[in-house]
């Protein structure tokens, strides 16, 4: 498999997809690919607008992007894709639409067979076993919380350590600890902004200037930096 799982699309003060674009370019290679884009996480803007934003950036590195909503047969579109790209937004809406269009199995089978998969934010969340470690509100009710199950660990994108002064609610770490109480056999990775996982066959790399925080039931959270061995996650 070839996966590029990105925490966030845009760092503060930067243009859209600016920081991950060099990684995306290297990941996809020099040959022009026809990428099928899943815009389903969009809520407050249209699929056409989302497609145009992503098209612009991918065209700059020599790749074509067409949103799946432009195809009359979404399953056939995935089956014929050179690469699959899943954008961020609301994870529950994204997952709901994936199920509505019967894409769980076809995407999973396509990626397992070697088709590159790129996702950011909600798009990286759906690469895991479930969407249960998303940060989003459940504004839509998907058929299931089960996701593409391309990796066996959960991702919490946009992971924050912050506990603002005066905030009496749970921190992100406490929310993840709740997940582990109910799902004790699944690892959770806190993927901070500006970072990503690159997975190729039996190799996994953490890329980015910030570390990744790993949560395992019964253990203290651990920090892993780029260059650390993460093969135990696969």
Distance of alpha carbon 187 from alpha carbon 148, whole angstroms: 16
The catalytically annotated residue of 9, 67, 121, 124 is 121
Strand-pairing partners, residue 34, are 64
Cα angle value 132/135/137 (rounded, 5°): 90
Please tell us whether the domain made up of 2-152+193-210+225-233 is placed in CATH 1.10.1040.10: no
Strand-pair category, 83-86 with 196-200: unpaired
Q: What is the pLDDT along the chain (234 residues), one digit of tens a residue?
A: 999 999 999 999 999 999 999 999 999 999 999 999 999 999 999 999 999 999 999 999 999 999 999 999 999 999 999 999 999 999 999 999 999 999 999 999 999 999 999 999 999 999 999 999 999 999 999 999 999 999 999 999 999 987 666 766 688 999 999 999 999 999 999 999 999 999 998 899 999 999 999 999 999 999 999 999 999 999
Beta bridge partners of 67: 37
Annotated catalytic, 158? Answer: yes
Residues contacting 217, CB < 8 A, separation 6+: 180, 181, 184, 185
Domain ranges of the chain: 2-152+193-210+225-233
158, 167, 211, 226: the catalytic one is: 158
User: Catalytic: 113?
Assistant: no
Residues with Cβ within 8 Å of 157's Cβ and at least 6 positions away in sequence, in order, are 6, 7, 8, 88, 120, 121, 122, 124, 125, 134, 135, 191
Is 121 catalytic? The answer is yes
**What is the distance between the alpha carbons of residues 23 and 28, in angstroms, rounded to a whole number?**
9
How remote is the C-alpha of 170 from its chain's centroid? 24
User: How far is residue 202's CA from residue 179's CA, in Å, rounded to a whole number?
Assistant: 27
Question: Which residue is catalytic, options 136, 203, 219, 225?
Answer: 136
- Which residues lie below 8 Å from residue 165, measured CB to CB, with a gap of 6+? none
């Amino acid at each position: 498999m070839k996966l590029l799982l990105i925490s966030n699309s845009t760092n503060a003060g930067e243009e859209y997809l600016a920081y991950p674009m060099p990684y995306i370019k290297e990941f996809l290679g020099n040959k022009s690919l026809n990428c099928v884009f899943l815009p389903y996480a969009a809520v407050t803007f249209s699929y056409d607008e989302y497609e145009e934003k992503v098209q612009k950036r991918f065209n700059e590195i020599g790749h074509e992007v067409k949103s799946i909503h432009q195809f009359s047969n979404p399953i056939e579109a995935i089956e014929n894709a050179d690469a699959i790209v899943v954008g961020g937004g609301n994870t529950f809406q994204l997952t709901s639409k994936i199920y509505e269009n019967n894409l769980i199995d076809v995407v999973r089978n396509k990626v397992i067979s070697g088709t590159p998969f790129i996702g950011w934010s909600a798009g990286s969340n759906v690469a895991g076993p479930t969407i249960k470690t998303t940060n989003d509100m459940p504004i839509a009710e998907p058929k299931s919380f089960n996701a593409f199950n391309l990796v066996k660990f959960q991702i919490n994108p946009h992971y924050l350590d912050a506990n603002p002064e005066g905030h009496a609610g749970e921190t992100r770490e406490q929310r993840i600890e709740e997940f582990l109480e109910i799902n004790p056999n699944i690892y959770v990775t806190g993927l901070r902004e500006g970072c990503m996982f690159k997975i190729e066959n039996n190799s996994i790399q953490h890329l980015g200037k910030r570390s990744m925080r790993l949560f395992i039931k019964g253990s203290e959270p651990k920090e892993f930096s780029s260059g650390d061995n993460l093969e135990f996650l696969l």
